[in-house]
Amino acid sequence: MATFQTLPGFREFYPEDLARRNHIFRLWRQTATTFGFSEYDAPVLEPLELYKAKSGDEIETQLFSFTDKGGRDVALRPEMTPTVCRLVGARASALKRPIKWFSIAEFYRYERMQKGRGRCFFQFNADIFGEPGPEAEIELIALLVQCLCAFGLTEQDFHVRLSDRNLWFFYLEALGLDESRARGVLSAVDKYEKLGDDAFREYSEAFGPLDPELKSKILAFLGTKSLAALEATIATLGGEKLGTRLHDWRRLLGALDAMGLARFVEVDLSVVRGLAYYTGFVFEAFDRKGELRALAGGGRYDDLVQKLGGPALPAVGFAIGDMTFALLLEQRGLMPAFVQAPDVYCVIGGEKERLAAFADIHALRAAGFRVDYPMRELAFGKQFKAAAESGAKLALIYGGDEIAKGVVKIRDLTQRTEVEVPRAQVAASVRDFMTGS
Ligand code: HAM
């Protein structure tokens, strides 16, 4: 007989898997709320056009796209950024600034599968609209760090690598490169960590070989790992744009330092981000050991809202993926074991006692207690075994004798003690047991 399997790269969540996923989502949601972000959601299926030439070549080749029954070209969303730009752009004048929004949603990319990479995955997205200065980056990098620390991760587990596409453009301009050459260089920089010198092949094909002296300056800039080194390089070039930009860097790093977060953040100009829309500061979070793919990525994208038909509106944001993040939590022993135990398990005699128990079971559930009982009539021994296996703290015993006397026996399954309480007081007694009073 044919068995149907999930499509490659797609995931199923059995209850224990979903408990882990929910745990992650719960803490992300809670953290975003403490930072004053509001939650939104949007459709999974979008017009294909939304991603064409906006997200970048790589994402475009990875789209799950098709023509719907109405002849529209559509795609499963590979990311949230174009969508959230449309939402904000459509109501920009009515929304109170700065607009601080987050979402937790599923995305689809037809990628080559590897550890921590699938074809469907969840992301926590957080974005700020309407703030042109580094204040937005300060808030978002602090949120990113806290979204990871909320689970018990520390600076020994992860770091945020911070870079700046503006600074790169100003630098390349100061070296005499025009905009299209500068873009070519940045695309090589993006691939340099993975491909080494081969990363410059596309550039050479388009513009001819890069002058060796220029290339060595670019590679030295790419290797910049501190603000002091950055200041030293820029001092040799001068120029107002570079100077003003350094001022933004100092504000950003100074604020993160004041929050006690400098230990998480590293200057690393080798990060430029593959997505096409980034315009300024860009950042990525990685595990310290460098064993996993990126945990999170983001940056400023000041032109995208307008490109998608909205007003000119500065924007910054990031997304954390759930797959690498869950792997890191497991590796560090920070993923709790989830046991879904009831508070109370009912052990019930025969048919008559069952009706009495049903009345109490429903009342206890309505009062907020987690209550379970055997679906079918079973011998007492089997029911006590089931009660112990369920992980419940209490067993309520509805035997013929108890019902005749108008009482219920409450057995504390951990202390192995038993008391009889009048039926009318079951809910109050269970509450006392559960709260330890
Ligand atoms: P991204 O770097 O493409 O950025 O994705 C962010 C994170 O999503 C990655 O660091 C990774 O953890 C996760 N991720 C991406 N692709 C996959 C995959 N195939 N399987 C598993 N996890 C994956 C963006 O998506 C931007 N839209 C982020 C952003 C928000 N920028 C501004 N606002």
Q: How far is the CA of 297 from the centre of ligand 1 (A)?
A: 6
Tell me the residue range of the domain where 375 lies: 344-435
CA distance 115 to 343: 38
Task: List Cβ neighbours of 420 (8 Å cut-off, separation of 6 or more).
Answer: 402, 405, 407, 408, 409, 410
pLDDT computed for residue 1 by the predictor? 58
Q: Is the CB of 59 under 6 A from ligand 1?
A: no
Rounded distance from Cα 120 to ligand 1 centre (Å): 11
88 lines ligand 1 (CB under 6 A): no
- The answer for 245, left when phi > 0, alpha when psi is -120 to 50, beta otherwise, is alpha
**Ligand 1 midpoint to CA 285 (Å):** 11
Asked whether residue 239 falls in the same domain as residue 275, the answer is yes
pLDDT of residue 339: 76
Nearest CA residue ID for atom 13, ligand 1: 321
107 CA from centroid of ligand 1 (Å)? 9
Q: Residue 405 CB: number of other CB atoms within 10 A?
A: 12
Same domain as 371, residue 408: yes
Q: Does a structural domain hold residue 214? A: yes
Answer yes or no: do 266 and 138 share one domain. Answer: yes
Ligand 1 atom closest to the Cα of residue 316 is 32
CATH, residue 247: 3.30.930.10
Do both 221 and 146 map to the same domain? yes
124 and 270 part of one domain: yes
Residue at a domain's end among 274, 296, 331:
331
CA of 223 to the centre of ligand 1 (A): 24
402 lines ligand 1 (CB under 6 A): no
- Render 105-142 in DSSP notation, one character per residue: EEEE-----BTTB-SEEEEEEEEEES--STHHHHHHHH
> What spacing in Å lies between the alpha carbon of 298 and ligand 1's midpoint?
8
The response to whether residue 279 sits with its C-beta less than 6 Å from ligand 1 reads: no
Residue 9 falls within a domain, yes or no? no
- Total residues belonging to the chain: 437
Spell out, as residue ranges, where the chain has pLDDT lower than 70: 1-2, 53, 55-56
Task: Output the pLDDT for position 2.
Answer: 64
Give the 3-state secondary structure of residue 91.
Answer: coil
pLDDT of residue 251: 97
Asked if residue 243 is part of any domain, the answer here is yes
- Structural domain total, the chain: 2
- Asked if 430 and 364 count as a contact pair (C-beta separation under 8 A), the reply is yes
CATH of the domain at 400: 3.40.50.800
Nearest CA to ligand 1 atom 8: 321
pLDDT at 198: 92
Please tell me whether residues 56 and 114 are part of one structural domain.
yes
Task: Tell whether ligand 1 has an atom less than 6 A from the beta carbon of residue 82.
Answer: no
Q: Is the Cβ atom of 55 under 6 angstroms away from ligand 1?
A: no
pLDDT at residue 280 in the model: 95
323 with 424, same domain: the answer is no
Q: Report how far ligand 1's centroid is from the alpha carbon of 123 (Å).
A: 7
Q: Residue 2: inside a domain, yes or no?
A: no
pTM of the model: 0.93
Residues 225 and 266 occupy one common structural domain: yes
Q: Is 1 within a domain?
A: no
For residues 379 and 244, state if they share a domain. no
In this structure, the answer to whether residues 212 and 351 fall within a common structural domain is: no
Task: Say if residues 276 and 54 touch (Cβ distance below 8 Å).
Answer: yes
Closest ligand 1 atom, residue 111 Cα: 19
Residue 3 lies in a domain: no
Angle made by CA atoms 111, 117, 123, in degrees to the nearest 5: 100
Whether residues 317 and 370 share a domain: the answer is no
Does residue 177 sit within a domain?
yes
